[in-house]
Amino acid sequence: MNKHLISAADLSKDDALLILDTAEELARVSERSIKKLPTLRGRTVVNLFFEDSTRTRISFEAAAKRLSADVINFSAKGSSVSKGESLKDTALTLEAMGADAVVMRHGASGAPYRLATWIKGSIVNAGDGTHEHPTQALLDAFSMRRRLGNLEGRKVTIVGDVLHSRVARSNVLLLATLGADVTLVAPPTLLPVSVDTWPCSVSYDLDSVLPKSDVVMMLRVQKERMNAAYFPSEREYSRRYGLDRDRFARMPDDAIVMHPGPMNRGMEIAAEVADSSRSTIVEQVANGVTIRMAVLYLLLGGEI
Amino acid sequence: MIIKNVRILGGDLADIRIENGVIAEIGQIAAESADEQSIDGQGAIALPGLVDLHTHLREPGREDAETVLTGTQSAARGGYTAVHAMANTMPVADTAGVVEQVWRLGQEGGYCDVQPVGAVTVGLEGKQLAELGAMADSAARVRVFSDDGKCVDDAVLMRRALEYVKAFDGVVAQHAQEPRLTSGAQMNEGVVSGRLGLTGWPAVAEEAIIARDCLLAAHVGSRLHVCHVSTAGSVEILRWAKSKGWNITAEVTPHHLLLTDELVEDSPNGPYNPIYKVNPPLRTRADVEALREALADGTIDIVATDHAPHPVEDKETEWAAAAMGMIGLETALSVVQEAMVDTGLLDWAGVAERMSLAPARIGRLSAHGNPLEVGAPANLVLYNPGVRTEVDPRGFSSKSRNTPYEGMTLPGRVVATFLRGKPTVLEGKLV
């Protein structure tokens, strides 16, 4: 394993499987009445969040605390950062406090790589701009594996705003590493111009891909994209790329529906689909804590 | 003064006598008296003093990044005897007052002539023409006008500027960047930007403006100069426009002749290192090859540095927050040797044409960019192409350190620079 987890590309197949297997073991711990392990006692994990993301921050916080780490939450709002402190000075401050790991969420793509040049601890990317969100991809893979078993050869369809999605980038890389067949579905405006160089297939037509999918992952589509002419209207997007009941019915019987949240019910996903038994959306949240425990545990070299 | 043992444009060994700032004699020369000063060139190549059509000196306004003095010292170290100071200072060089101030600062420093570029529009805002005539008539005698850093994207305004400057033989130097296509752009749009999740700066945003401007210049019969051409598509458009006989010139920067966008993802300085952030952005290997070929065949007329100093804190940030630009005066000749001469694409006469003669012609500087002949002003650089050294920015004369070449091994070394016969650099050091 690398010292940091910044991109899903940092993970070899063995690394990825080790994280997933470790998460399986830790999941058993989570089922116990006392969930806490002493593994990271005395280690300090900093949650460094430059963007509001209560869900992800709480997930990392719960993961670190269940491993008995000391957790410091540093959010940009109301801190020295909002007074114009540079990323480098924030990094040097954390370094002086002796952070063993920094979990970072930042609005600028690549910010964790910059942070890594200034601090000695491990860095876990909790989402950087429109680049990557590798623990999301790991928890997605973990959720898929729990439902479907081995991911080798499994057909995963990812639908939505791929261009601006860090979740999509990390998922494409990780799923390719794990041997799944990924197909991206989006209006052409929401795909990078170079998407043909990615290790996946691309389609503009959701209906032709759905019947062949084992997993359909819907991405959040921000309504503001409409203003920049990425698509004409919410309704049109929903009609062409939304997972409604009719489309859901055309999926194979054992295929599952995923969404990294937060959802726009009625836009990219219908409420009935999101709440169906084949949706893993709530499991994904629970699995998020488990997978982040596994990542922190392996990066910080703890012992079970 | 005699400069002994130099090879003019890489030719045979010769000596050059300089008297009263002018080249007085070329050949095998013996000292006339014991006190006549003599410098041994030790076989260095002699080129006419380099002329940069595109330099950011930052003064007035950002003296923390560079001043006219440090910028011209940096230029002298790079073999330049004249630089064109871009207009995007604070205040903007859009009045006779500002351009005269910059021009005088250059004169006072004495390291390198400073020829100010005037802004095309007031405050670089692209709304109203600046007083171009007043700048042309000022002591600074401005002939090159540019909103560099911003594109004159309004087609009517661009047409009028092209027409208006004909009255004083001026030229509009366009920063070709369609603003709507590059809103929030961070790097070249392509394979790397897609992977890195950085907003792309598509080649078409440059090419569309170049095509439009070539057509406008042809329509009104004006002179157009295209700044920092960076894509293979731009080269094709320029080749076509020049084939029509239109009065169009173009420049390429040293960094676009050597570096590619892959450095943003993978470099010794780590991914997303803003030292590689520049506008227009570093492009692909295919673009680099097309630019080299275009510079060799004359489609691109000149090399211009786009020397863009920034203080450390403006580059030690996350990518999106970092300033765009690289310094380049002190490495330009070495990079051109690496990209063009050592690859066999250009000889030293070709280098002199593209880094001295042609830029002086475009800028209408009669006292610079002259062939090294008897009677010409003694503006020259001595260059030893036979050494390779690791670039160490700590030794630079520029106030800034934002060079993408740190740690790279590049060929050649500027040994001496003479401005009107007076050495500004000797043995590689400022005089």
Residue B35 has pLDDT above 90, yes or no: no
| A10, A13, A15, A19: CA torsion to nearest 10 | 110
Distance CA B383, CA B44 (A): 5
Tell me which of B306, B314, B342, B392 is the catalytic residue.
B306
Strand partners, B171: B144
For strand B422-426 and strand B429-430, is the pairing parallel, antiparallel, or unpaired? antiparallel
Contact A193 B197 (CB under 8 A): no
Which of A114, A166, A197 has the CB atom closest to B318's CB atom?
Answer: A114
Residues B112 and B365: beta-carbon distance below 8 Å = no
- DSSP label at residue B324: P
Residue contacts between A and B (CB atoms, under 8 Å): 75
Q: Which pLDDT value is given to residue A304?
A: 42
CB B54, CB B227: distance < 8 Å = yes
Average pLDDT over residues B161-183: 98
The answer to whether the CB of A182 falls within 8 A of the CB of A234 is: no
Which run of H or of E encompasses B101? helix B96-109
Record: contact B319-A198, CB cut-off 8 A = no
Q: Do B197 and A130 touch (CB under 8 A)?
A: yes
Task: Choose among A43, A48, A81: nearest CA to A65.
Answer: A43
Is the pLDDT score of A78 beyond 70?
no
The residue-averaged pLDDT of B168-180 equals 98
Instruction: State the amino acid at position B311 in one-letter form.
Output: P
Calculate how close chain A gets to B147, using CA atoms only, in Å. 27
pLDDT at position A75 is 83
A113, A114, A118, A123 alpha-carbon torsion, rounded to 10°: -30
pLDDT at A303 over 80: no
What b-and-e string marks burial along A196-216, b requiring 16 or more CB atoms within 10 Å of the CB? eebebebeeebeebbeebbbb
Question: Does B343 have pLDDT greater than 70?
Answer: yes
Contact yes or no for A101/A45 (Cβ under 8 A)? yes
Mean pLDDT of chain A: 93
Q: For residue A252, what pLDDT is reported?
A: 96
pLDDT score recorded for residue A54: 87
Which residue(s) pair with B388 in the sheet? B411
Query: Which residue on chain A is closest to B202 by alpha carbon?
Result: A193
Query: How many secondary structure helices (H) and strands (E) does chain A include?
Result: 11, 9
Q: Give residue A302's pLDDT.
A: 57
Supply B37's token pair: 């000063």
CA–CA gap between residue A300 and residue A46 (Å, rounded): 13
Query: Distance from CA of residue A183 to its chain's centroid?
Result: 17
- Whole-number Å distance between alpha carbons of B120 and B172: 8
Q: A198: which chain B residues are within 8 Å (Cβ-Cβ)?
A: 194-195
User: Which whole number is the average pLDDT over B196-212?
Assistant: 98
Question: Around Cβ B371, how many Cβ atoms within 10 Å?
Answer: 14
In the stretch 136-195 of chain B, residues with CB closer than 8 A to chain A read 186, 189-191, 193-195
Residue with tokens 């406008």: B216
Note the pLDDT tens digit of each residue in A41-74: 999 999 999 988 889 999 999 999 999 999 999 8
* pLDDT more than 70, % of chain B: 100
Task: Specify which residues A243 forms β-bridges with.
Answer: A269
A143-190 pLDDT, tens digit each = 999 999 999 999 999 999 999 999 999 999 999 999 999 999 999 999
- The conformational region for residue A82 under phi > 0 = left, psi -120 to 50 = alpha, else beta, is alpha
pLDDT recorded at residue A29: 80
Contact (CB<8Å) A194/B271: no
Best probe of the A interface among B198, B272, B284, B316, by most A CBs < 10 A, is B272
Q: Which pLDDT tens digit goes with each residue over B274-309?
A: 999 999 999 999 999 999 999 999 999 999 999 999
Residues in chain A: 304
Distance (Å) from the alpha carbon of B65 to chain A's nearest alpha carbon: 18
How far does the CA of residue B80 sit from the closest CA of chain A (Å)? Answer: 35
Give the per-residue pLDDT at A76.
76
Would you say A14 and A279 are in contact if contact means Cβ atoms under 8 Å apart? Answer: no
Residues forming a β-bridge with B302: B251
Q: SS in 3 state form for B189-247? A: CCHHHHHHCCCEECHHHHHHHHHHHHHHHHHHCCCEEECCCCCHHHHHHHHHHHHCCCC
pLDDT tens profile B374-388: 999 999 999 999 999
Interface test with B, best of A2, A4, A6, A109 (most B CBs within 10 A): A109
A21 half-sphere exposure, CB direction, 13 A CA radius: 6
For residue A144 the two structure tokens come to 């898929």
pLDDT at A223 over 80: no
Q: What is the pLDDT of residues B125-171, one digit of tens each?
A: 999 999 999 999 999 999 999 999 999 999 999 999 999 999 999 99
**ipTM surpasses 0.90:** yes
Q: How far B205 CA lies from chain A's nearest CA (Å)? A: 14
| CA distance to partner chain B, nearest, from residue A194 (Å) | 5
Secondary structure class of B263 (helix, strand, coil): helix
- Taking an 8 Å cut-off on Cβ atoms, the answer to whether A131 and B190 are in contact is no
Assess whether B266 carries a catalytic annotation: no
What distance in Å separates the CA atoms of residue B105 and residue B315, rounded to the nearest whole number? 27
| DSSP codes, A234-286 | HHHHHHHH-B-HHHHHHS-TT-EEE--S---BTTTB-HHHHTSTTB-HHHHHH
Q: Does B196 touch chain A (CB under 8 A)?
A: yes
pLDDT tens digits for range B88-118: 999 999 999 999 999 999 999 999 999 999 9
User: How confident is the model at residue B31, as a pLDDT?
Assistant: 79
Contact B321 A131 (CB under 8 A): no
Q: Are A125 and A132 in contact (CB under 8 A)?
A: yes
Q: Are B246 and B218 in contact (CB under 8 A)?
A: yes
Chain A contact for B321, CB < 8 A?
yes
Concatenating the DSSP letter of every residue in B102-116 gives: HHHHHHHH-SSEEEE
Cα–Cα distance, B224 to B160 (Å, whole number) = 12
Give the pLDDT band (50/70/90) at residue B30: confident
Q: Do A117 and B196 touch (CB under 8 A)?
A: no
User: At B11, which amino acid appears?
Assistant: G
**Across the interface, do B197 and A111 touch by the CB < 8 Å criterion?**
no
DSSP A187: -
- The pLDDT score that the predictor gives to residue A222 is 81
Mean pLDDT of A216-239: 89
pLDDT of residue B162: 98
Subunit contact B321:A108, Cβ cutoff 8 A: yes
Nearest to A109 among B270, B316, B319 (CB): B319
| CB-based contact B356:B348 (threshold 8 Å) | no
pLDDT at A83 over 80: no
- Per CB-CB distance under 8 Å, the chain A contacts of B271 are 110, 113
Q: Alpha-carbon distance B404 to B37, whole Å?
A: 39
